[in-house]
Structure 1
Amino acid sequence: MVPQPKKAPGKAAGASEKPAKPVQAAQGVTTASATPGALTTTSTGSDTSSSGPFTKPDQAAYNKAQAELRVKIDELTSQVNAVQSKIELAGRDGPNAERRTALKTELDDMKRQQSGLKGNRAKILDQLKALQESSQTRARTLQAAKQKAQFKTVEEIENHVRGLERQIESGTFTLTGEKKALADISASKRARKAVEQFQVEQDAIDAERARAEELRKELDDPESKAISERYEAIKTEFDTLKAESDEIFANRNRLFEEKKALVVLLDEAWTQKKESTRLHREAGDRYFKKVQEERQKKAERYAAQRAAAEEEKRKEIALRIREEAEVPAYQTQIEDCQTLIDFLSLKAGGGSSSVPTPSAPAARSEIAGIPKLETRTVENHADTLVARKKKGEEEDNYFVGGKGKKKGGAKATNGAASSGPAPETKFNLPLATLSALLSLSIPPPSSHGDISRTIGDLKTKKAWFEANQARVTAENIAKADVEIKRIDTTSKSSQSAVVSAVDGQANEEPAEALETPVPVTSTDDVVSETTEVTA
């Protein structure tokens, strides 16, 4: 198991301590020096105050320190694993222990094999022991008796008796000597029985010794001897392995102390790793917090600038709409009517005047914020125009008022032209005047006599415009006020949405400003929507 950071290395390992598993190399990201016992933290983050300048933590330096510490952790891990392997080898569960266990199992098997022969062997040994003791006792008793006896064998007695008898027969003894010789012969004959008993006892001793020798041969069975020899060989190997294991086991305390020191260094490396990671993370948090604050301020400034710009734009639009609405209604139409009345009055009186043109939008009073319009004016070229001929017929360049169908009128005109001068019913109008009359929905005069009718229609139209001017102007102002109020409401809603977006997404770059669409309503549009003048 890999030692965890800030974990106590554990108490000193003794002879009874169970060996730990090998330490595996840890995968982590930290910053610390690679020297055992001299691990120092390397801060890769910029620790700056909130009011001072701030920089992003150096990721390259941080990664370099991480790699150095990882190499050191791997080195310490390898050392711990090597010591752990030695501890396992010295432990009771090492390779030698397995061999010892195998030998012990084989010894037990041999003991079980010998258990069948053990009973008979014990009996034989008991018999052998009894025979040995009996033969030894008898031999000692016989030896003692022989030492006390005058003669050792029957032959010695017989020889002694025959010698005494020959001496008696020869008459060499005196009477006293002869009596002693006879007494000695009698004693020797009596001792013969005892000496004969010596031989019987010796034969019994020899028989017991022969039986003991037979029992010894039974004990020297080849199968039992092979088992015994194998047992002795295994026992010798077992004792050798045990001695080696005891010698290695005696160094386990030293190995545990070495492992303890390495684990302490490894724990220090993990502690430095954790501390370095914490410092780097805090530096990054401070940096990104500062970035977020700057984005928040930037977004707020942007929102304020956009709100101010939109407010200024709204005010300009409202002012323009208000000024356009305050322009008197039908003012252009009234001026056009008066111009046409003056022109037609001069035309009816036979005078000449320049071609009247309707009041152009440029003639209106200039409004603040609206550029001055330049309209095209129509020049009068009535004297220089040439009639265009179509299919052999001649037509004037000016409008000719008259009645009747087109084809009939054309034929009558051709007939009049061929017979004499044009009748007085023909009446020509400039194109600009004709356009002005048509825009007011007033039929143009068809002859000089019809001019009075046209002037009357123009005066009636002018009177109607003047009568409704105040009312329509007031309606335009009311509509402008409603439109201005709607624009104000839309602007406030847009500002609220912008503030919400800034508060909710301060960590993102502010979006581009959205233009608030404002409808542009001109006075002419308001007038055209209010009423439609008909002839």
Structure 2
Amino acid sequence: MADVATPSGAAEHGSAPDKKDKKVIEKPEKPDEEAYKAALKKAEKEHAVSVEKFNAAKGQVESAKLSKDSPAGKRRGELIAQLKEIREKQGAGKAGRNKIFDEIKNEDSKLKDLIAAQKVARSRVSFKNVEEIDKEIDRLDKQVNSGMMKLVDEKKALTEISNLRKQKKGFAGFDEQQKQIDEKKAKLKSLRDTLDDPESKALSEKYNKIQAELDTIKAEQDKAHASLDSLHDQKKKLQAEQQEKYLAIKKIKDDYWKQTRAVQAYEYEARQRIRERKKTEQENYQKEKRMARAKEMLEAASDKAYLDEIRRAESLLRFLDPSYSAEKAPLQAPSQFTATAQRKVDDSGLKGMKVVKKEEEDYFAGTGGKKGKKNKKAAATPDTPAPAGKYSCPPSVMEDCSAMGIDPPMSAADIPAVREKVLAKLKHWKEDQAAQTEKNIAKAKLEVERLEAEEASSVPGTPTVPAHANGESKATAAVDEGGSVANEVELQKAATSDVTADLKSASLEDKAE
């Protein structure tokens, strides 16, 4: 549906070409949200599948490239770290094992020396043990004791017996050496057993297992690296497919939101046109309202000074002295700030007519009953003194005297003095009336200038005012419509300045005439 911008009154009654140039704004069609959600869901599902395929191909490429960030690369790094830890443990144990190896070597050397010394000693003896020596000694003793031997042979036999007995004593040293050899062998066996502990065997088995897994990973990486080119091509293809699916999702979203924003922009512009129209109407209304208020304020400020005081004094004088007659001059003279008439009255039909004036009424002092009559008679004849103790001052007279700062008359004798005081004040007010009026006007001008200066200092620039809820701005809205009191006062001061300037120019024109 097309929405036509509202033309002004002049444009509506204008010529045909103006109507042709009129700008027509067509309302965009609102997008179908359900169709948008269905298309978006389908596109996102296809995109998720392409992303999954791309990630799988990417993982294969990373694995083939021996990347540290790939799963195989991370596992390989973990295994290498474990091997390093095992080597460190084995290195710490190796220092102790080397010490044991050195000790074994030292003990083995000592054992060999003992065995060699024993062999040398035994090689010098033709007998294997002590029993054989004892048998040989017994045989030689029997031959010597038989007396059948020659003297030379007997001496040889005795010498040999003596040597055999010495050798018998040497066999005790062979036993001690054999004991030492056995101890060395037992110690060597104990040292060799310490090298074959279960912890070292477990570390060795774990090391071999990790090394086998590393070899498997390396074989897989070598195989994947051989087909790296084909993996790259597959990855690029899947990446292009993923990008295509992503752009499809983006297009669906962009088209939907573009159409939605167009509808929102159209609705906003329509509201803005209504808001501007209401704002203009409200500004015009507020301007007229401010002008009227400023006019009333200036008219009130242009009244002559002491009007109420003069009226009160003259009323009081008429009560104190009925023969007193006030001046017929008007109490309020036309002011230069008084608004001029906007139209001229045709008085041609009033010519020849007589104006009937209303008779002036005497001052009525609120008295009642007989006392009022007595007071009236006393006031009518001020020269005749009233009897003492019978004078009564009305409450209204007492209020007037109190307002003027004069003591009210308590007896008829006080009336002349009070009258003179009232006349003195009345004279002062009339003489000072013009000067005081000028002072009031000057004071009002200063107040207006002060307010204008405050406004200028408080508002350095012209801020942008946000639109009100009903279309008007906060600056032009009234207090009951959401506007602030400060804005209302500032607008009233601005109107006051405008009216003051208008009245000054009007006064100058009157003086020139």
TM beyond 0.5: no
Larger Rg: 1
State TM-score, norm by structure 1: 0.36
Higher normalized helix content (fraction of residues): 2
